[in-house]
Amino acid sequence: MKPVVALVGRPNVGKSTLFNRIIRKREALVDDMPGVTRDRHYCNAVWEDKEFTLVDTGGFVQGDMDRFAGEIRFQVEQAIDEADVVVLVLDGKNGVSPYDRDLVEILRNTDRTVFYLVNKVDNEIQEENMFEFFSLGIENPYPVSGEHGYGVPDFLDDMVRSFPDIEEEEGEDTLKIAVVGRPNVGKSSLINKLLGEKRLVVSDVAGTTRDSIDTLCRRGGKEYLLIDTAGIRRKGKVDQKIEKFSIIKSLKSLDRCDVALILIDAAEGVTDQDITIAGYAEERGCGCIFILNKWDLVDGTAKNTKTFYERLYMEAKFLHFAPAMTISALTGLRVGKIFKLVEDVYEQYQTRVTTGELNKILGSATERTPPSLHKGKRLKFYYATQVEIKPPTVVCFVNYPEAVHFSYKRYLINQIRDNTGLDKTPVKLEFRQRTGKIDFATLKDEGHRTRNKEQRDKFSRNKEQKKTERKIQARKKMERLAETPEPD
């Protein structure tokens, strides 16, 4: 297992900036406003060919100066407990804070390897301001700058040397599951219930989650990556910069996931924004499952459930293939069945159909219901083949790709679904012009117009020359007839 390194510190000392510097990606949200990070944020990193897992945490404060202070403090303590190495980040620009002393005291009582970083030190001259940090009773603090990279390589060299020797594990295909929805529909509560621990900060305040948080879990010998995302509100209601970045990261999570759990607040019913979010998932081609949360607050009779499903699929016709289930993240109602449904969708999502079977299905479909004519000419479907999985993507070669009506395309996709059992996954069908074969019948009909310009010009010149020669011969014939004397 990879070593786990946790970055801890008080708010606004630059932990997320340093996190992005080490992993060499802009994964964590960064802003001058304190308290942007609230949950634990995990990401894999490599230094000197040694892999480790880096954890970004929220700012640690004692007391209740922030309504999320207690939850964030719990998350920091959890990160310290599960880490092999703890990195305390201090603020070299603003100096020592009472919260720094509290954290140093906590870390003295842990058996973890601890490194102390004084951040926001951009050059050797600024290192002279580090002496006051020795009053915390720490040894060998590292002057670094997460923003500009100053001193970071020296710190990483020493950190990876402290790692124990670990046997490399064989790579495994991890199933990525993104949990998306409007704010306050229970996304973080659901992931906490799936994990069986209080992994993410949860509150009744809409917008508690600001970043897309990745969490690995293992269930039944299978590894899953659960991606908690920020709630997606309507564009007109988004005015804060942090929320705009949060929504962008939520949409990026849909790009990299295999299956999206679209959470809907069953107590509020299906809203227009729920359908918009479902459209985002459909556009990105990921597998989709509708999760109707807070079902414990709804009259869950069979009649009411059927009515809810009918309303849902009436509004989201474009995701008619996506299964749906009712749950309660608070009570755990049917939460355990989600992984089984995800596996069913994922199995179809990565299915590959043989070329022979596809051509048999499409041949039978076009013979049973032929397509309409295009400018008086018949559409010819030559052959089809699957070119991709995740989702299954089929390319069909025809003589006029742009002439295939969308309704006939939908008909062919439904025929593929019915005959292959792909009833829970998106299926893409593309039409292309067949190339590499000359249609001589078309050439014969078009005649000389299909030849190149030089041939057409030569043909025209020969035609005019022959026409001129015929006129000359006719004139000479008339002259001979005029010269011939009439008999007596």
Residue type, 204: D
Tell me what the pLDDT averaged over the chain comes to.
82
Task: Pick the more confident residue, 399 or 448.
Answer: 399
The boundaries of the domain holding residue 207 are 175-349
Which of 349, 367, 399 is the C-terminal boundary of a domain? 349
Q: Count, in order, helices (H) and strands (E) of the chain.
A: 13, 15
CATH value at residue 428 = 3.30.300.20
Tell whether 340 and 380 lie within a shared domain.
no
CATH value at residue 26 = 3.40.50.300
pLDDT above 90 covers what percent of the chain? 41
Within a domain: residue 281?
yes
Tell whether 191 and 316 lie within a shared domain.
yes
Within a domain: residue 140?
yes
Tell whether 199 and 337 lie within a shared domain.
yes
Tell whether 270 and 378 lie within a shared domain.
no
Within a domain: residue 291?
yes
Say if residue 123's pLDDT is above 80: yes
Which one, of 97, 95, 28, 100, lies nearest residue 57 by Cα? 28
Please compute the mean of the pLDDT values over residues 334-340 and round it to a whole number.
93
pLDDT for 200-254, tens place per residue?
A: 544 444 444 545 677 888 888 888 989 888 878 776 555 555 556 667 777 888 8
Q: Considering only 211-225, 318-332, 397-411, which range has the smallest mean pLDDT?
A: 211-225
Tell whether 416 and 456 lie within a shared domain.
no
The pLDDT of residue 456: 64
Say if residue 12's pLDDT is above 70: yes
Say if residue 431's pLDDT is above 80: yes
The pLDDT of residue 172: 52
Tell whether 271 and 185 lie within a shared domain.
yes
pLDDT band at 320 (very low <50, low <70, confident <90, very high): very high
Say if residue 23's pLDDT is above 50: yes
pTM for this predicted structure = 0.64
Which one, of 353, 182, 358, lies nearest residue 267 by Cα? 182
Number of domains in the chain: 4
Contacts of 438 (CB under 8 A, 6+ apart): none
The pLDDT of residue 430: 94
Tell whether 155 and 68 lie within a shared domain.
yes
Tell whether 330 and 195 lie within a shared domain.
yes
Tell whether 191 and 74 lie within a shared domain.
no
Please compute the mean of the pLDDT values over residues 421-445 and round it to a whole number.
75
User: Using CB atoms within 10 A of its CB, is residue 222 exposed (0-12), middle (13-18) or buried (19+)?
Assistant: middle
Tell whether 35 and 119 lie within a shared domain.
yes
Tell whether 310 and 451 lie within a shared domain.
no
The pairing of beta strand 259-265 with beta strand 381-388: unpaired
Q: How large is the angle between the packed helices 272-283 and 241-256, nearest 10 degrees?
A: 50
pLDDT for 30-82, tens place per residue?
A: 555 555 565 677 788 999 888 898 888 877 766 555 555 666 677 777 778 88
pLDDT above 70 covers what percent of the chain? 81
Within a domain: residue 122?
yes
Please compute the mean of the pLDDT values over residues 428-434 and round it to a whole number.
92
Helix (H) or strand (E) holding 455: helix 453-483
Which of 349, 380, 395 is the C-terminal boundary of a domain? 349
Which of 318, 349, 380 is the C-terminal boundary of a domain? 349
pLDDT band at 422 (very low <50, low <70, confident <90, very high): very high
Within a domain: residue 222?
yes
Backbone angles phi, psi at 104, to 5 degrees: -60, -40
Residue type, 217: C
Say if residue 148's pLDDT is above 50: yes
Tell whether 381 and 277 lie within a shared domain.
no
Within a domain: residue 166?
no
Taking the alpha carbons of 362, 367, 369, 374 in that order, is the dihedral positive or negative? Answer: positive
Q: How large is the angle between the packed helices 152-161 and 15-23, nearest 10 degrees?
A: 70
Within a domain: residue 167?
no
Within a domain: residue 201?
yes
Contact of 180 with 250, CB cutoff 8 Å: yes
Please compute the mean of the pLDDT values over residues 97-111 and round it to a whole number.
86
- CA 67/CA 318 separation, integer angstroms: 41
